[in-house]
Amino acid sequence: MDLATGAMGSLLLKLGGLLTDEYKLQAGVKEDVQYLKRELTSMYAALRKVGDVPRDELDVQVKLWADDVRDLSYRMEDTIDKFLVRVEGSKAPAAAKPHKLKRLMKKMGDLFSKGKTRHEIADEVKDIKARVQEAADRRDRYKVNDVVASPAGSATVDPRLLALYKDRKELVGIDDSLNELTKMLSDGDDDASKQLKMLSIAGFGGLGKTTLAKAVYDKIQGQFDYGAFVPVGRNPSRVKLLNDVLFGINKQMYPGLDERQLIDELRAVLKNKRYFIVIDDIWDKETWGIIKCAFVDNNCGSKIITTTRILEVATATGEVYMLKPLSPELSAELFNTRLFGGKGKCSYGQPTEAYDKILHRCGGIPLAITTMASLLVGKPVESWSKVYNSIGLGNEDNKDVDIMRKILLFSYYDLPCHLRTCLLYLSIYPEDHMIEKDSLIWKWVAEGFVQQEAKVGLSETGERYFNELINKSMIQPVESPLHDGIIIGCRVHDMVLDMINLIAKEENFVILLDRYQQDTSLDSNVRRLAVGRRHNPLVSTCMHQVRSFNATCLDEFVPPLSCFQVLRVLALEGDILSKHNSNCLENIGKLVHLRYLGLGKMVDVLELPKEIGDLKFLEILDLGCDTLEELPQSVCQLSQLKCLRFDGTRARVPDWIGNLTSLEELLLGCVNQPSNFVNELGKLTELRKLRISEHLRLNNAILVKAWAESLAKLQKIQVLDIHRVYFDM
């Protein structure tokens, strides 16, 4: 599942399952399902094409069509899943097995032979078929494939070109980086060999990589025989790129030559020359690998600088210079220079509260600072708070905002579809929030964003997605305060958060309700709802279609769980007042579609209702609340549970933990009855990660032997993280 296609991917798999002979569909219904699968497969391809084009470059009718088809895919999947739940019934299977969907579909075959159910699914399929036919007609009328084949924005001017022609006097906070980079380039110049020096400037979009590289180029290019500064960008023509390098060196173009011929020409030109070349904004290693072939290491002390947002590409170049955000002092200097014409010319005297909040929001990103300042030029200081509260990409008709937006969107649309979806999901969190990595990955799994790969666990695949977003500078890693180099979470820069909030809202991917968005009414097609601190209660009348409910800060406004009908993710993680927590899980057993249940540390829940055992599809139980001491016996019925995180300070490990044989990840606190736990552990043969955050005491030789035998049975274990093990013998 991804943003561009809604639930279409998983829906097609389920429709394919319905078409096998064992399900005994009526002939007419089977023909209808075959028609749906054919049409939806075509629409799936069209949606993926639409998703690769920036939304503001699409025809209005195409946008409306894509939105309607995505919404239709959700409705269809909800319909099928309701039948799956009915087939599952009230009893749990004896043991969890892989490919459970196929087993459930087989059970559906018996159900379809009954008259009432057969007529119900026939009616549902006919209604869906009518909607799909209408959507297919509109696709052909609007010529969707033709529209997306030639996006309107393909010829727009690259906004980063402006950085190449900035006056040196406009550059603020660049001197230290300029000196450091110059020194790195000059290291080794005294050696007799004078080998080719290659260095990459890496960092987030808008951080000033192009500006810094151009400043270095302008400073030292006179020391070289040849020089060239060549912008690249996304999806470059390698022939054009090689021609641009040649033109920068000798002001000549070589039309008609292919890549190999241009590389040979470059090598001949550079053979005995000292050269300095900057390749600005490389997006993939393949492009760099081709261009690199053209640069001769001729022991003349030549230099090459590349810039990139992607760490993997930077390391492929050679030495890496990670460009950091500006310090608070330099941020203020740049802000004042743009706003008042000088670093010390704050015309309002002492900085205001809004002034400090705006600089904090910019996070030391030069592009963000100059953009914010441009919004405030000419505005009275009294209006700054209003601007701060309402600022978001697309909210202001301002040239600088538009430039920043385009720069950020370059990175966003460079991501594959599944990573765009995972990134947009971060819009459920408030700004400056530290997002815990493992919980986030399991939410992605529960939402269906993580694609199953052979012999690889879902959490491992999700962690790769997480690392790719870091690699592409879309999120900022947060390391463990206790262990350097171990990443435990991430933060999202406020400017990126603004961008993904805007896209998520436009695409109806996530609706965020907080104190700035006080509307109490919801559209009937809201699928994911994130709620922060509010002053108005939430209405529950339009929750029946909500698939994901995330609350990071609620008072008494938690809607009753009985109003949700297709909820898959329920995360109550923030400052939810204790006096209202006692009944926040009332009717939890009715959430039969639930895949993820998360309770954060601030949630004051003393016990889980025994009805939690009715959640047959639950895959993740993430219990961070410190007040919870034990799990109800009914949890052992959750045969599809893949992740159990139960590490509160009072948490007691249940004796029956070995019943959860589908577990892939287990996070516990203190193991107070090690003998039971050690014996139960060996039953969890699917386990890939075991973390015990407190101590494990093994006080006799028999227990130590049982511990070793249980570990030997965990053939898939990859992470074994225990704070401390005591051997008392």
Does residue 246 share a domain with residue 212? yes
Does residue 336 share a domain with residue 305? no
**pLDDT at residue 218 in the model:** 87
pTM of the entire predicted model: 0.74
Does residue 337 share a domain with residue 317? no
Does residue 181 share a domain with residue 68? no
Check which CATH number belongs to the domain holding 470 and give it: 1.10.10
Does residue 149 share a domain with residue 44? yes
Examine the pLDDT at 97 and tell me if it is beyond 50: no
Least confident among 281-285, 519-523, 549-553, 664-668 = 519-523
Note whether residue 575 is domain-resident. no
**CA-to-CA distance for 530 and 170, rounded, in angstroms?**
41
Does residue 151 share a domain with residue 14? yes
CA angle 622, 628, 630 (to 5 degrees): 90
Instruction: Kindly report, residue by residue over 372-394, the tens digit of the pLDDT.
Output: 776 676 677 777 776 666 555 55
What's the total number of domains in the chain?
A: 4
Residue of 540, 499, 545 lying closest to 525 (CA atoms): 545
304, 322, 340 - which closes a domain: 322
**CA-to-CA distance for 363 and 328, rounded, in angstroms?**
8
The torsion angle over the Cα atoms of residues 77, 79, 80 and 85, rounded to 10 degrees, is 120
At 474, the amino acid letter reads M
Q: How confident is the model at residue 553 (pLDDT cuts 50, 70, 90)?
A: low
- Tokens representing 11 are 């829906």
491, 520, 552 - which closes a domain: 491
Note whether residue 623 is domain-resident. no
Instruction: Kindly report, residue by residue over 558-593, the tens digit of the pLDDT.
Output: 678 888 888 999 998 765 544 455 567 888 888 989
**CA-to-CA distance for 217 and 230, rounded, in angstroms?**
11
Task: Fill in the DSSP letter of residue 396.
Answer: S
Mean pLDDT value across residues 115-120: 59
Higher pLDDT, 238 or 170: 238
Note whether residue 215 is domain-resident. yes
**pLDDT at residue 422 in the model:** 94
Residues 6+ apart with CB under 8 A from 107: 87, 88
Does residue 290 share a domain with residue 188? yes
Distances (CA, A) of 301 to 214, 216, 230, 306: 19, 16, 20, 17
Does residue 182 share a domain with residue 149? no
Please compute Rg for the chain using Cα positions.
29
Instruction: Kindly report, residue by residue over 515-535, the tens digit of the pLDDT.
Output: 555 554 566 678 899 887 665
Note whether residue 60 is domain-resident. yes
Check which CATH number belongs to the domain holding 284 and give it: 3.40.50.300
**123, burial (CB in 10 Å: exposed 0-12, middle 13-18, buried 19+):** exposed
Examine the pLDDT at 368 and tell me if it is beyond 80: no
